[in-house]
């Protein structure tokens, strides 16, 4: 990864950590963490892994028009993608799982990346829905602060971005020949001639990855499974909450889930350090949870979300017998040369 990207992410993480922990008394925080009942994390992890399985099924569903691959085959690749996102900067796990799927099943990296981008767009739409559904409740609690207004403004901007991207992808899927024709015109008039054939080939494979969106039923299925995935993840928030001495509604945790996951789209150090924690603590304190309790819960939740799936993904990656530094870069180089 480019050094400037790493250091920019690290700087942003430091800023968010400062925002999250300023004014926090470490003694109070330590008392909260040591008194927690960590047995509640076990059902939370179980529910989370069910969500990862549903995510693997959704990816299998999106790839079905290209190649039918069983969900049990997609699950390890999905876990490796999570691990990559948690360990490497710039969400490199998305590229990692596309490359591994090519190695295992022969699916083009461009087509896989198209389905992965579709996944992320639907995830963003669901996260924004979680935010909008619960804004009125939060506004009643913190109407005098600027917190709600900031969330509303960010949600409106995010809605425009994600819905705009969704419309573009749906149109590209519904009118593939017209999209390809327009794409070729742009490529031939902007890029040097020596790149034309290679880029057009990649574009055609990318458009092939959008084939599942040509059916309204498929679009509804992807949206429905996206809701299930994020409700299951909110279920983990709910279980981990029981390890601590506070209680908020499931809807409040939906709001927290939506906000923190939208915040993690901001560049940060690997593992979403700071960008996950600061908004999570802010949401809970807006609901009247003491700062030490909110910080203890959010940081423990962050570790519980990060560690199990990262270990599982690392195990599956080790079974593949490849390394990011050598083999994956070679694969990406071949892709860039149009040899996929």
- Rounded Cα distance between 310 and 306, Å, is 6
Task: Please give the torsion angle defined by the CA atoms of residues 278, 41, 229 and 57, in that order, rounded to the nearest 10 degrees.
Answer: 130
Task: Please give the torsion angle defined by the CA atoms of residues 203, 207, 208 and 212, in that order, rounded to the nearest 10 degrees.
Answer: 160
User: Which residues neighbour 286 within 8 Å (Cβ) at sequence distance 6 or greater?
Assistant: 138, 141, 142, 145, 147, 148
pTM, rounded to two decimals: 0.87
130 versus 331: the higher-pLDDT residue is 130
What is the total residue count of the chain? 340
pLDDT at 206: 83
Query: Are 31 and 291 within 8 A, CB to CB?
Result: no
pLDDT at 293: 96
Over residues 41-59, the mean pLDDT reads 97
How is residue 277 written in tokens? 């924690």
Whether the pLDDT of residue 204 is over 60: the answer is yes
201 versus 62: the higher-pLDDT residue is 62
In percent, the amount of the chain with pLDDT more than 70 equals 89
Instruction: Measure the CA angle with vertex 197, ends 179 and 61; round to 5°.
Output: 50
- Rounded Cα distance between 300 and 277, Å, is 10
pLDDT digits (tens, 9 = 90+) for 277-328: 998 998 898 888 999 999 999 999 999 999 999 999 999 998 887 765 555 6
CA distances from 111 to 28, 207, 298 (A): 50, 7, 36
pLDDT digits (tens, 9 = 90+) for 100-133: 999 899 998 889 999 999 999 999 989 988 888 8
Q: How is the chain split into domains, by residue range?
A: 37-336
Query: Are 299 and 311 within 8 A, CB to CB?
Result: no
Query: Are 248 and 141 within 8 A, CB to CB?
Result: no
Confidence of residue 161 (pLDDT cuts 50, 70, 90): confident
Sign of the dihedral defined by the CA atoms of residues 238, 302, 135, 229, in that order: negative
Largest CA distance in the chain: 66
- Rounded Cα distance between 258 and 120, Å, is 13
Nearest to 98 by CA among 127, 66, 146, 129: 66
pLDDT digits (tens, 9 = 90+) for 251-284: 999 999 998 998 888 888 888 999 999 989 988 9
pLDDT at 336: 47
pLDDT digits (tens, 9 = 90+) for 165-202: 888 888 888 888 889 889 888 888 888 888 888 888 87
pLDDT digits (tens, 9 = 90+) for 134-155: 877 776 665 444 455 566 676 6
- Rounded Cα distance between 305 and 231, Å, is 14
Q: If you write DSSP's letter for every residue of 206-272 in order, what string do you get? A: HHHTTGGGGSHHHHHHHHHHHHHHHHHHHHHHHHHHTTSS----HHHHHHHHHHHHHHTTS--STTT
- Rounded Cα distance between 230 and 120, Å, is 12
Q: How many CB atoms lie within 10 A of CB 294?
A: 28
How far from chain centre, in Å, is Cα 305?
12
Nearest to 52 by CA among 321, 336, 308: 308
Which DSSP symbol is given to 143? T
Nearest to 306 by CA among 262, 272, 256, 261: 272
């Amino acid at each position: 990864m480019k050094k400037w990207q790493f250091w920019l992410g690290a700087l942003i993480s430091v800023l968010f950590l400062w925002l999250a922990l300023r004014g926090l008394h470490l003694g109070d925080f330590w008392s909260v963490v040591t008194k927690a009942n960590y047995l509640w994390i076990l059902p939370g992890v179980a529910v989370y892994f069910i969500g990862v399985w549903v995510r693997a099924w959704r990816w299998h569903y999106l790839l079905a028009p290209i190649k039918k691959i069983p969900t049990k085959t997609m699950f390890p690749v999905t876990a490796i993608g999570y691990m990559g996102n948690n360990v490497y900067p710039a969400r490199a796990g998305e590229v990692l799982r596309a490359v591994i799927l090519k190695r295992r099943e022969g699916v083009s990296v461009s087509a896989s990346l198209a389905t992965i981008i579709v996944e992320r767009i639907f995830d963003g739409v669901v996260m924004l829905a979680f935010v909008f559904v619960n804004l009125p409740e939060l506004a009643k609690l913190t109407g005098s602060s600027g917190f709600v207004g900031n969330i509303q403004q960010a949600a409106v901007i995010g809605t425009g971005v994600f819905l705009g991207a969704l419309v573009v992808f749906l149109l590209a899927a519904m009118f593939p020949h017209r999209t390809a024709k327009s794409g070729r015109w742009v490529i031939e008039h902007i890029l040097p001639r020596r790149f034309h054939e290679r880029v057009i080939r990649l574009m055609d494979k990318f458009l092939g990855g959008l084939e599942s969106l040509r059916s309204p039923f498929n679009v509804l299925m992807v949206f429905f499974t996206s809701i299930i995935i994020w409700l299951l993840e909110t279920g983990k928030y709910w279980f981990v909450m029981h390890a601590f001495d506070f209680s908020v509604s499931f809807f409040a945790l939906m709001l927290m889930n939506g906000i923190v996951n939208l915040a993690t789209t901001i560049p940060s150090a690997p593992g979403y350090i700071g960008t996950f924690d600061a908004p999570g603590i802010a949401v809970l304190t807006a609901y009247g949870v003491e700062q030490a309790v909110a910080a203890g819960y959010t940081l423990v939740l962050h570790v519980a979300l990060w560690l199990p799936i990262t270990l599982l993904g690392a195990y599956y990656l080790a079974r593949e017998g490849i390394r990011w530094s050598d083999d994956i870069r070679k694969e990406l180089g071949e892709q860039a040369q149009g040899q996929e």
